[in-house]
A and B are shown apart, each in its own frame.
Chain A
Amino acid sequence: MKVLKLIFKNSLRHKLRTSLTILGIAIAVIAFGLLRTVVTIWDSSVDAAGADRLITRQSVSFIFPLPLAYKTKIEAVPGVKAVCSAAWFGGTYIDKSNFFARQAADDNVFDVYPELLLTPKDFDTYKKTRNGCIVGASIAEQFKFKMGDIIVLDGDIFPGRWEFVVCGIYQPKNKNTDGTQMFFHYDYLNEKIKQTSPGRGDQAFWYIVQINDPNKSAQISEQIDAIFKNSTAETKTETERAFTQGFVAASGAIISAMNFMSYAIIGIIMLVLANTMIMSARERTREYAVFKTLGFSALHLTGLILGESMVISCVGGGIGLALLYPIVAGFEQVMPKGFFPFFFIEPITAILAVSSAVLIGFLAAVFPIQRALSTKIVDGFRFVG
């Protein structure tokens, strides 16, 4: 209709000013989307942690090993369903930038982590292959790993040249399940280490403890730690969730900052648009007086100003959102695999971005509307911008 045409014509009056404002909103929406994507990834990796799993590690830090003998003692604690020994391998695959998690674990790791889906046939092959390994579907795709391939790792924590045969590829069950890990037999690692540096044999870096009742996690954790109290290697047992959170403890603070920033950006851009709208409305004081003189109502003026604000914020928001997807995809490409186990825009992020744009458009119009409506016609005509 006519009013719509006028709204568009008005918003194009200062092309540069409007373009810059739209650009600003687009950038803000992209920044908001990126920050929120990182925040939601972090949140969902914590969420992905199983409630029925505890992690037992050395009380000071998980870089110090625990005796392998602990395994049977932990298994004996009432309420414990299964215990899986694990060791962080580290190492380098061809190049340092090829980062993905590599760990040695007992074969029951796929029972303890039911979200890592492996066919019984592959599991069978894996069990029969001394230096076999299982890789996640994401890294299999990235590095083109196929069944029977040899993966050569250059060890650092466990020095030497290590060769592993790909015996299976696990599929992540959920969208937030990490598909970038590599597992191999703990026994194989232990055997080889005993040959090269006997003092480091029979040690695990942590135990994954599966329990029957998630509600008893605190109680069982205490019981486990009590067993090893006053030993040379005291333990700290906590839920996997707490462990994951602690693992990214430093990130935790950064994440909070990002969380805050994502909303601060929205606030800032709202002020920018409000400023644009106030300038426009001020310049048009006389025109608003003309509209009122001709008999146009408060509703008409509200529509004009709100409409213009909405057009600018929604165009900016739309452009930002349209660019957000390729940008996030681009980020996923350049970021080393495994750095973030998964990277995608949650629908809630897109919804939040769009509603922020709408809210910005609405709030930015409030003051100019209030001013336009409260200015008397005669004062509007006497106004000199």
Chain B
Amino acid sequence: MAAIIQVKNVAKSYWRNSLEIPVLHGITLDVEEGEFMALMGPSGSGKTTLLNLIAGIDRPSSGKLSVAGTDIAKLNESALAKWRSANVGFIFQFYNLIPVLTAYENVELPLLLAKLSRAERKKHVENVLNIVGLGDRIYHYPKQLSGGQEQRVAIARAIVTDPAILVADEPTGDLDKNSAQEILTLMGRLNKEFKKTIVMVTHDQHAAERATRLLHLDKGDLSANGKN
């Protein structure tokens, strides 16, 4: 079976004041379905950039990107948006919850784009909040939660539409050790129990050890470190 994520010769440059800043040079990478891949590398090496390309929130300058069976480099903005909402769940370092919405409402947000009844939405939201262990915090606002709890809400939001792929950009970067452990355990569960393919950028060696595969990115080039 073909890899769920296929990156072929992907290059990405940014333009600053008509000056080209090359970030990724010809990356080629396959991620199999059900893999939990960790991406490490020094700051500025292009980890976030690569993750954003895979997740379809940025576009490559050249190369081919096939994710979940779709050639996403060819999609227009609205098709790409639709594709994202169906195929990818996002977990960020700073959680990026909407502060005026409760945990419940934050998780419900992606479902508003699907044609679901209120009752169906409720079922899904309560289900994922229970998976992340926050069934008793559903009417709390983000500022009433700890960092670890906020990140769990964010994870619930990422999985509520049941996407095949989760991308996480330093999901434990802003957390204390214990909370980080909890988040990593949760992500491991999502990978094993719920068969999510995960691509995670991290600076943390402990985090990387949870992954089934580790890749290093340095100045825009990949080097594999084999499987854990």
Contacts and interface: CB of A to CB of B under 8 A. Distances in A.
A13 B100 CA distance: 7
A301 to B, nearest CB: 11
Given A377-B58, A378-B58, A295 B100 contact: no
A286 B96 contact: yes
Contacts of B90: 293-294
A290 B98 contact: yes
Contact of B109 (A286, A294, A377, A381): A294
B96 A295 contact: no
Contacts of B110: 294-295
Contact of B113 (A6, A9, A294): A294
Interface stretch (B79-87, B132-140, B197-205): B79-87
B17 interface: no
A376 B98 CA distance: 19
B58 A294 contact: no
B101 A6 contact: yes
Contact of B96 (A2, A13, A290, A297): A290
B112 interface: yes
- Most B CB contacts (10 A, CB to CB) among A289, A291, A292, A377 go to A377
Contacts of B224: none
Contacts, number: 50
B78 interface: yes
B84 A293 contact: yes
B44 to A, nearest CB: 13
Contacts of A291: 109
Given A6-B100, A292-B81, A378 B109 contact: no
A287 B142 CA distance: 13
B100 A297 contact: no
A295 B57 contact: no
Interface in B100-156: 100-101, 105, 108-110, 112-113
Interface in A1-20: 2, 6, 9-10, 12-13
A2 B107 CA distance: 13
Contacts of A296: 81, 113
Interface in A330-385: 376-378, 381
Given A290-B98, A295-B85, A378 B57 contact: yes
A6 B100 CA distance: 8
Contact of B100 (A2, A10, A376, A381): A10
Contact of A378 (B52, B78, B99): B52
A287 B57 CA distance: 14
Contacts of A13: 99-100
A295 B52 contact: no
Contacts of A2: 105, 108, 112
Contact of A377 (B57, B100, B112): B57
B92 to A, nearest CB: 8
B33 to A, nearest CB: 22
Chain B interface extent, by class:
20 to 34
A295 B81 contact: yes
Q: Which of B82, B112, B157 has the most chain A CB within a 10 Å cutoff?
A: B112
Contacts of A381: 92, 96
A129 to B, nearest CB: 76
Interface in B48-94: 52, 57-58, 78, 81-82, 84-85, 90, 92
Interface string B173-191: 0000000000000000000
A10 to B, nearest CB: 6
Contact of B98 (A287, A292, A293, A297): A287
A307 to B, nearest CB: 14
Interface in A231-266: none
Nearest to B110: A294
B58 A295 contact: no
A12 B101 CA distance: 12
Contacts of B99: 13
Nearest to B113: A295
Contacts of B92: 381
Contacts of A295: 81-82, 84-85, 110, 113
Given A286-B96, A377-B57, A378-B58, A9 B78 contact: no
Contacts of B52: 377-378
Contacts of A286: 96
A286 B97 CA distance: 10
A2 B90 CA distance: 22
Contacts of A378: 52, 57-58
A263 B57 CA distance: 44
Contacts of B113: 294-296
Contacts of A10: 100
B199 to A, nearest CB: 15
A12 B58 CA distance: 33
A280 to B, nearest CB: 12
Interface in A268-306: 286-287, 289-297
30 contacts: A2-B105, A2-B108, A6-B98, A6-B101, A9-B101, A10-B100, A286-B96, A287-B96, A287-B98, A289-B96, A290-B96, A292-B57, A292-B81, A293-B57, A293-B84, A293-B90, A294-B84, A294-B85, A294-B90, A294-B113, A294-B157, A295-B81, A295-B85, A295-B113, A297-B78, A376-B58, A377-B52, A377-B57, A381-B92, A381-B96
Given A9-B100, A290-B98, A293-B90, 11 more contacts: A2-B108, A2-B112, A10-B100, A291-B109, A294-B84, A294-B85, A294-B113, A295-B82, A296-B81, A297-B81, A377-B57
What 10 pairs between A and B have smallest CB-CB spacing? A295-B85, A9-B100, A377-B57, A295-B81, A378-B58, A290-B96, A294-B110, A295-B113, A295-B84, A378-B52
